[in-house]
A and B are shown apart, each in its own frame.
Chain A
Amino acid sequence: MSVATATRGLVEIHNVHKSFHGVEVLKGIDLTVQPGEVVALLGPSGSGKSTLLRTINHLETVDAGSVTVDGEFIGYELRHGKLHELHEREILRRRTRVGIVFQNFHLFPHLTALENVTEAPVALKRLSKDDARELALGLLDRVGLSDKADAYPRQLSGGQQQRVAIARALALKPQVLLFDEPTSALDPELVGEVLDVIRDLAKLGTTLVIVTHEIGFAREVADRVVFLDQGRVVEQGTPDEVLGRPQHPRTREFLAKVLG
């Protein structure tokens, strides 16, 4: 495996296996995401795409294989040819270079939009409260919610909540940003506002890995589309190749279903 030195946001996934209760959901996945690349993971439900995404920031451990970000393992350290599991404190530190946005937002309901965004930088003592506030107001402005800083999550629409969640993930200035079906829990008319924000991020050069069912969006934003089925990468390539001229029957079948 190549260990990059000067790169920022390089994700290398090598022969990853993962089982839940004896059912193998990832059956040897290889995938490299270049710095600044936007990759869309597509696949039917149960194909393992969310699990794969979650292995990137070690929310899910792997049974075999390895996942590195900028050449560094998030949950382990390579010493004397063995992977040593790290202590939680170190895992947390390394994990902060990868941000994640969840399907169901998972905003902290007892904190305001602003406090949701400032929480991590303050908790990690990266910024003073005032600086974090400054940063958070800037991020909320960037996702178009500067007027909602003092609102609690339940006072916001789904689309607004997801945009706060994106601002929260950006507060640690991650090199890689993961999106786990970011629009699946939204009413159709709210999907657009979230996709707009992601589209802007794609232009800024952060590595994005997006699990999505929005085929049109994937086609527009992604540099590469990866199609997973039953724990394997079935097909990958540019959006035009995979979505326009799918080679594998499973991909064709899936696209036919999704696109109606």
Chain B
Amino acid sequence: MTTTAPAHAARPIDTSATIPPTKVDLGTIAVVPTRHWWRWTLSALLLFVVAQFVWSLFTNDRYMWGTFAQYFFAEPVLIGIGYTLTLTAISAVVGFALGTLLALARLSASPLVSSVAWGYIWFFRSVPLVVQIIVWYNLGYLYPTLGLGTPFTTDFWIVEFPTVQLVSAFAAAILGLGLHQAAYSAEIIRGGLVSVDPGQHEAAAALGIPASRRLFRIILPQAMRSIVPNATNEVIGLVKGASVVFVIAIPELFYAVQVIYNRNSRVIPLLLVAVVWYTIITTILSVAQYYIERHYARGSARALPPTPIERARRWVSTQWARLGDAPPGGTDATRPVTAKGADA
């Protein structure tokens, strides 16, 4: 890829030569940018604080980086990550699938359907997640057995299960996280759907496009632009929300490090193991978010800005071309051209 020279770079060189130096030529006059003193001061201050912190990371041996390294890839930690990711994935799928249904139900013309959806959202947003998980885990106290049989009785003559067997710790975690998530996702999805211009609905209906296709092909892709940032927030929230299930002894990431530091008392380095892993997962999700948003931004701008990778590649190729090309001080297109620079 080659650099395209900014338009002003091609300015004729001879103008400054023909004009007496005392007279200002508005065609080639240099522009002095505003100096942002406060911005610079603040930047310097922030840089100092960050540097100070980084210095402490290296010099304060209470961080015990050796212990950190020792446990970073420890088996219980890796298994914990597996649990965390599995819980997140399943409850995200459950949450967003159910959330979509709830969002559509809330937008339904039937007052009963929309009230039920409203009620669900109201209730599941009211009860703290950790309480929900414990209640699901202990469902057996409320309903010792679950099954199918005669309505309004506990005579389950078709099938019957002991609740404890049906709702394992893992199932309780999924139920808690998934149903809780559905309430939040429903509002995010509904928000996205109502943000689409009603004219889109009308245009699609006028063309005779069936309701389901109208939703999935016309409305939802446009709604995704506002759904994706919020939905990613929620998924990232779930990654960390999954740490709540340590209360029912599922060995996810946070539980795993707790077990280890309860044994060896090295609390900080082990919490750091968890922190760094959570950061890595969040980073991956954030990158994914960037590309998903970009996908749904199709047609939203005349041209999409380059991705960071494209920008980096362009920069490298420019620098590379520079090295190979003209001697320094030559006709370098990227160099700002001022009246002074025209003497070459």
Contact = CB atoms under 8 A, between A and B. Distances in A.
* A, B assembled together: yes
Contacts of A109: 222, 299-300
B60 to A, nearest CB: 52
Contacts of B202: 59, 102, 106
A207 interface: no
A119 B200 contact: no
A169 B208 CA distance: 11
Interface in B187-240: 197, 199-200, 202-211, 213, 217-218, 221-222
A104 B199 contact: yes
**Most central of B210, B299, B301 by chain A CB within 10 Å:** B299
Contacts of B213: 123
B296 interface: yes
Contact of A92 (B210, B217, B296, B298): B210
B298 A110 contact: yes
Given A154-B300, A154-B301, A154-B302, A108 B218 contact: yes
A89 to B, nearest CB: 7
Contacts of B205: 59, 92, 95
Q: Which of under 10, 10 to 19, 20 to 34, or 35 or more describes the interface residues of B?
A: 20 to 34
Interface string A96-136: 10011010101111111000000110011000000000000
Interface class of chain B by DSSP: helix
Contacts of B296: 110
A88 B207 contact: no
A231 interface: no
Contacts of A169: 207
Q: State which size class the interface on A falls in.
A: 20 to 34
B207 A96 contact: yes
Nearest to A97: B208
A55 interface: no
A57 B199 contact: no
Contacts of A107: 203
A92 B212 CA distance: 13
Contact of B299 (A57, A59, A153, A168): A153
Interface in B216-270: 217-218, 221-222
A123 B203 CA distance: 14
A51 to B, nearest CB: 13
- Between B200, B203, B221, the greatest number of chain A beta carbons within 10 A of the residue's beta carbon is seen for B203
Interface string B271-285: 000000000000000
A109 B200 CA distance: 9
A88 B213 CA distance: 13
Contacts of A96: 207-208
A172 interface: yes
Contact of A124 (B197, B199, B209, B298): B209
B213 to A, nearest CB: 5
A3 to B, nearest CB: 23
Contacts of A124: 208-210
A111 B211 CA distance: 18
Closest 5 CB pairs of A and B: A152-B299, A106-B203, A96-B208, A120-B207, A92-B208
Interface of B: 197, 199-200, 202-211, 213, 217-218, 221-222, 296, 298-302
Interface of A: 57, 59, 88-89, 92-93, 95-96, 99-100, 102, 104, 106-112, 119-120, 123-124, 152-155, 168-169, 172
